[in-house]
Structures are given as C-alpha cells and as structure tokens.
C-alpha cells in the first residue's frame, strides 16, 4: 500500500460512521438507451458532488459527464444512445436551459450540428461540447422532456411566470415550434415510439394536484383527451406512464385514481379503448413497459414498503419479481427479460440489483455502514390511523431524546429505506420518529387529498397524535423533543413550533416555508398553482387561509430555540420569506440561528451536506437539556 493510500485509509478509519454514510459513493438506477441498451446514464456522488455519468456496459468504461460546483442530477439519454441531454441551471435555482453532449468522450471542438454555439453566460463546468440542445428557447423551469428515436427531435416543456406552461417541438437545425400554451401547469408526458404522438399532462381545470391528459400530434393538433376531474367535488388525477415501445403502437400506459388509489391502465389513444388491469394489490401501483410491449413491470407501494411484479398482458397473469423486504425506489426491465432495481432498507444501504442475483453497479471506494431497522407503529389520529416509523439506538430503552423527522412533499412518504440523516441522529443517541401524516402517498387518495384548505394544521394534528404516543409509551423524553424536517417538513416544523409551542423543546427547519404569503409571490409558477389548489385561491382571494397556515402568523408564540438553514437560490422556498420570519424572531430576541448557503432547494455537495448535519447536531447538543 502506498503512503497516500495509507493516509486515506487512516482518515477513513478515524471518520465516524454517520459521516461515512454521506461520503460513501452511491449511484442511481442506470437509465439505458432504448435502441442501444449497452449505453447507460446514472447519477453518482463519487467526486463528492452529485453529477451525471455515462456508462458503456459493453466495455465497462465510465465517464463523468458533468462537473459543476453545485452538482447536476437532471439528465436524459437519447434512445439511440448517442446524446446526453442535461439541464443547466444557476447554482441550484432550477431555471435554465437544456444542453447536450455526445455519449462518447467529447472533444472541446465537438459542436452539435446546427447549433449556434455556447451561450455567452455559460455556467461552471460547461465546455464547447455542451452546446444548447434547443437553441431559440429562452431559460425556464423544466416542464418535461421526451427525445425522439432519431436523436434529432425532442419535445421540450417549459414553465415561466410570464408564459405559464409551454411545450415545443425541437428539431435539430430548425427553430423550435410551440405546440401548447396555458397559464396553468402542464408538462410533457411522453413521445410515442414512432414520434407521431405526444402525451401531455395538464391542469387547465385549475387543480394542480389532479392532472388531465391530452394527446397531440407534432403539429399541435389534438388526437384525443382523457379527463377524470369532471369538475365535480371529488376530482381524480391521471398521469402518463409511457407509450408502448413498438412502432405504430398507439397504446399509452397511464395511472388513474378511480378506485381511491393509483393504479395503471392501458389506453389506446387511437380507438379510445381502455384496458383496466384491476390488479389485486393493496396500496399504490405504478407500471412501465417491458421492452417488447408484451408485459408490464409493476411497482407496488404499500405501508412504507414496496415490491415488484410482472403482468403479462395476454394471459393477465401477475407474477411476483423476487426482491428483499424494504423499498424499491426504481426499477427497469431489460431487453433480455431481467429486471434491475435500486433497493435499500433502513438498515442496509442502497444497491442496484438484478434478478440474475448480481450487483449491477457497485462503486469502488468507501462502503457505507448500515444502520438500525425501523419498527412500525400505528397510532389513532383525528383522521384515521397514522403510520409512523421508529428507529432507536440498539440496546436502548426509553425515555430517549427523540427527533420527529418530518418528510417533505407534502405528497411523499417516508419508507423503510436507507437515509443517512436519520441514521446520524440514531448514532448520537436519539430515537427518530418519522410520520406519514395525512397528505402522504401510499395510503390511498383520500389520505393524500385530505390537506385542502387547512394546510399544515391537518398534518400537525397527526404529528401531535404520534408525539403523544411516543411520550406515553415511554419511548420519548417529553423534555427532549426535537421537531425537524426539510422543505414541507421544514414548513411543518416552523408551523408546529408556533401552534404547539409547549410540545417541542427545539426546532430545526431546512429550506422551509416560513411566511406563506411572501413565499407564494416569490416561488416558481408550478408551486403557485399547487398552493392555489391546496388553499383554494391566491393570498388576495383567501387571505384568512394563508394566514391560518403561515408560520409567520404564530412566530411570536414560539418558545423553543429555532435553527433554520436555507439556500439563497431556492425557487421553492425562497430566501426573502425566510428573512421575514427571522426578522420577527430577532425583534423579540428569541433564541435562533440561521445558516444560509449558496445553493437552491438543498445541496448536492457532500461536504456541504455534512457541514449542515454537524451544525444541526451541535445546535441540539447546546440547546437540549442533558
């Protein structure tokens, strides 16, 4: 072993396990090119920043595609495997343009046919090989992308405050052609295998939580529509899962909520025929096509865990694809019929597995330590049973200092999957409680849709019920309770500190909504639409609802010390509304600390994330009773 390698090994040996979990290289599920399945694209933090990587599975060669100070995760591989499209924003602000480079190692002079060259203000890590993929389209928030099999045609979705949602057909060497425009949220769903049909998800009816579908031709004319919202009191959503991967096949796989949960069906957009799969599985169900179009790979999520199934469209036979117990966060069927999937559990780090039994992509270097498994708890709440996931240091008994780690979304859920953040708290002697409050996915449509109008307050009712259980069961020390979360979880943290001031010992909020009215006016247009749906209008139309749901309304009631971290370029929870909240804390000399960093809605830089966790742990150590 060389001296340098010896030094690295010594540093690793001295590093605490919680830090190793963040530093250990991890990879996403590789996306592969439809017509060149040996070519793949994945995301990894191998360099200490999350970036895109190209992988030639035939030769084993891997190449880092992007290299930017604040990282890159949005990328798409063209079906022919020749081009990698990636989204170029500024320091995490999510506002930018698509660029592309060749899959093979590009030369500095490898300009794209018909491109005008680089923008004058090209960002960090951008070379001459990364020419704009859609010259003529101004910067925007991304609204979906579908690339044609020829690699020279794409459908690009955009969103801006000025234009609303627009969709454009982009052909290499030609000006982009706008085929769709509306003030409400919309985006590209998929492009058919032969490029003749474009599926669009839209919310022209004004409900950003429940999309309708429209199928267009490349000239913008409408082929057909499907809308389950019906304008009634109970609105149901639809989502695009993908066109059949066969030339001339007009079948579109979609998700629907007609039986109170997400399920797939096959819709022939030419004939209008709908094939209801009626799968006998509880929980939410999604699907994607097998490469020959004869079967579907079913992803089934139920009560914080997930598994996989194969559904044969001809025989209607449903066969389980063996996976370990835990969470499958992504899966894909390969041309040879095998399935590759990204799996983890709370105790075991993520890994890309194959049904062949092999590990598909195992990054070299430091390996992540495991953590402790979760325990399931069901608590009776005001809206029904609430599912909570509990982790605590091995061999300990309560009452323990306890962290209530609230997930973001709100339409998301915590699961039995590996997470370095909660594991860090456990390593430091804390119990961790994660709660799938009303608004979470995986428990049926009614549970997810329950938030409307009493936003934030409903979730906190469920959190309060689980808090009461944690204390009365002997798990949690009532004098050492931390409320924390990021994004929507950060919002619920600040709202909870103000509306339940005697319940919490301290609060730690990352990238939160703090002043709902100012956040609405400053945030990206798609989130404005979501807020109008949740609260029933704008701040001017329903001021009482925004006031009731805003942490700023209750800031003077906060008793607990507050720690807030925020990205100065965040378009989702913008910095100005956080500054307004902090100014109110400062005015009354409330105990608080604020950490601002140069990124968007969170950081893709490992060192930065570790720094933030250290600051949070230190804040808890200094302010929590011993």
The three-state DSSP-derived secondary structure of 443-455 is: CCHHHHHHHCCCC
What is the DSSP pairing of strand 251-256 with strand 75-77?
Answer: unpaired
Q: Average pLDDT, stretch 367-385?
A: 97
pLDDT digits (tens, 9 = 90+) for 66-90: 999 999 999 999 999 999 999 999 9
> In the chain, what percentage of residues exceed pLDDT 90?
90
Q: Is residue 312 scored above 50 in pLDDT? A: yes
- Residue ranges of E strands in 67-162: 75-77, 83-89, 96-102, 131-132, 141-147, 153-160
Q: Average pLDDT, stretch 549-571?
A: 98
Q: What are the DSSP calls for 571-625, one per residue?
A: SSS-HHHHHHHHHHHHHTT--EEEEEESSBSB--BHHHHHHHHHHHHHHHHHHS-
The pLDDT, as a whole number, for residue 233 is 54
Number of Cα atoms under 13 Å in the Cβ half of residue 459: 34
The pLDDT, as a whole number, for residue 109 is 41
Count other Cβ atoms within 10 Å, centred on residue 258: 12
Task: Give the torsion through C-alpha atoms of 388, 392, 396, 400, to 10 deg.
Answer: -70
pLDDT digits (tens, 9 = 90+) for 481-502: 999 999 999 999 999 999 999 9
More confident residue, 187 or 107: 187
Specify the residue for token string 């090209």.
122
The pLDDT, as a whole number, for residue 113 is 39
Confidence grade of residue 613 (pLDDT, cut at 50, 70, 90): very high
More confident residue, 287 or 451: 287
Q: Is residue 469 scored above 90 in pLDDT? A: yes
The pLDDT, as a whole number, for residue 123 is 52
pLDDT digits (tens, 9 = 90+) for 393-449: 999 998 999 999 999 999 999 999 999 999 999 999 999 999 999 999 999 999 999
Q: Is residue 381 scored above 70 in pLDDT? A: yes
The single-letter DSSP state of residue 436 is E
The pLDDT, as a whole number, for residue 450 is 93
Beta bridge partners of 51: 44
Closest CA to 410 of 451, 373, 375: 451
The whole-chain average pLDDT of the chain stands at 94
Flag the least confident range among 2-16, 141-155, 187-201, 592-606.
2-16
Confidence grade of residue 8 (pLDDT, cut at 50, 70, 90): low
The phi, psi pair for 226, rounded to 5°, reads -140, 125
The pLDDT, as a whole number, for residue 234 is 60
With b for 16 or more beta-carbon neighbours within 10 A and e for fewer, the 433-462 pattern comes to bbbbbbbbbbbbbebbbbbeebbbebbbbb
Q: Average pLDDT, stretch 303-311?
A: 97
pLDDT digits (tens, 9 = 90+) for 101-124: 999 976 554 433 333 333 333 456
Q: Is residue 533 scored above 70 in pLDDT? A: yes
Q: Is residue 195 scored above 90 in pLDDT? A: yes
pLDDT digits (tens, 9 = 90+) for 280-305: 999 999 999 999 999 999 999 999 99
Confidence grade of residue 626 (pLDDT, cut at 50, 70, 90): confident
């Amino acid at each position: 072993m060389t001296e340098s390698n010896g030094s690295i090994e010594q540093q690793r040996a001295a590093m605490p396990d919680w830090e190793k979990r963040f530093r250990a290289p991890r990879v996403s599920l590789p996306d592969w090119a439809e017509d060149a399945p040996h070519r793949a694209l994945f995301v990894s933090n191998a360099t200490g920043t999350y970036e895109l990587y190209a992988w030639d599975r035939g030769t084993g060669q891997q190449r880092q595609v992007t290299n930017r100070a604040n990282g890159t995760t949005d990328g798409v591989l063209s079906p022919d495997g020749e081009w990698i499209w990636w989204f170029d924003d500024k320091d995490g602000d999510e506002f930018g343009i698509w660029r592309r480079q060749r899959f093979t190692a590009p030369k500095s002079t490898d300009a794209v046919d018909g491109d005008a060259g680089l923008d004058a203000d090209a960002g960090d890590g951008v070379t001459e090989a990364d020419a704009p993929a859609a010259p003529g389209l101004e910067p925007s928030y991304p609204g979906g992308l579908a690339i044609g099999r020829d690699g020279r045609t794409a459908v690009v979705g955009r969103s801006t405050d000025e234009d609303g949602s627009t969709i454009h057909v982009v052909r290499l060497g030609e000006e982009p052609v706008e085929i769709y425009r509306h003030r409400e949220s919309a985006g590209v769903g998929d492009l058919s295998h032969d490029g003749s049909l474009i599926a669009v998800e839209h919310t022209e009816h004004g409900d950003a939580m429940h999309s309708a579908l429209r199928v267009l031709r490349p000239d913008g004319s409408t082929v057909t529509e499907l809308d389950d919202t019906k304008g009634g009191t109970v609105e149901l959503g639809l989502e695009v899962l993908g066109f059949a991967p066969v030339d001339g096949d007009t079948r579109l796989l979609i998700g629907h909520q007609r039986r109170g949960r997400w399920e797939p069906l096959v819709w022939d957009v030419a004939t209008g025929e709908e094939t209801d799969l009626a799968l006998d599985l509880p929980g939410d169900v999604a699907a994607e096509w097998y490469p020959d179009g004869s079967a579907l790979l079913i992803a089934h999520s139920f009560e914080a865990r997930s598994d996989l199934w194969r559904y044969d469209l001809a025989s209607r036979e449903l066969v389980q694809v063996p996976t370990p117990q835990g969470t499958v966060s992504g899966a894909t069927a390969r041309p040879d019929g095998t399935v590759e999937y990204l799996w983890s559990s709370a105790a075991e780090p993520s890994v890309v597995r194959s049904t062949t039994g092999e590990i598909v992509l195992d990054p070299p270097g430091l390996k992540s330590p495991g953590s402790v498994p979760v325990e399931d708890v069901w608590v009776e709440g005001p809206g029904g049973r609430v599912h909570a996931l509990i982790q605590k240091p091995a061999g300990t008994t309560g009452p323990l200092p306890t962290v209530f780690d609230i997930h973001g979304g709100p339409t998301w859920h915590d699961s039995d999957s590996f997470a370095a953040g909660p594991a860090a708290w456990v390593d430091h002697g804390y119990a961790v409680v994660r709660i799938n409050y009303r608004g979470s996915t995986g428990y049926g449509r009614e549970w997810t849709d329950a938030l409307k109008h009493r936003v934030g307050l409903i979730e906190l009712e469920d959190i309060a019920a689980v808090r009461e259980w944690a204390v009365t069961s002997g798990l949690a020390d009532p004098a050492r309770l931390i409320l924390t979360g990021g994004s929507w979880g950060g919002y619920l943290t600040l709202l909870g500190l103000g509306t339940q001031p005697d319940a919490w010992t301290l609060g730690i909020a990352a990238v939160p909504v703090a002043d709902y009215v100012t956040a609405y006016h400053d945030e990206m247009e798609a989130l404005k639409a979501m807020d109008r749906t949740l609260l029933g209008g704008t701040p001017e139309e329903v001021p009482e609802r925004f006031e009731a749901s805003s942490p700023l309304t209750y800031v003077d009631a906060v008793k607990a010390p507050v720690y807030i971290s925020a990205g100065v370029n965040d378009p989702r929870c913008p910095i100005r509304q956080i500054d307004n909240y902090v100014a109110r804390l400062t005015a009354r000399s409330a105990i608080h600390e604020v950490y601002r960093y140069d990124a968007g809605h969170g950081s893709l830089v490992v060192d930065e994330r570790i720094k933030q966790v250290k600051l949070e742990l230190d804040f808890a150590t200094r302010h929590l009773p011993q």
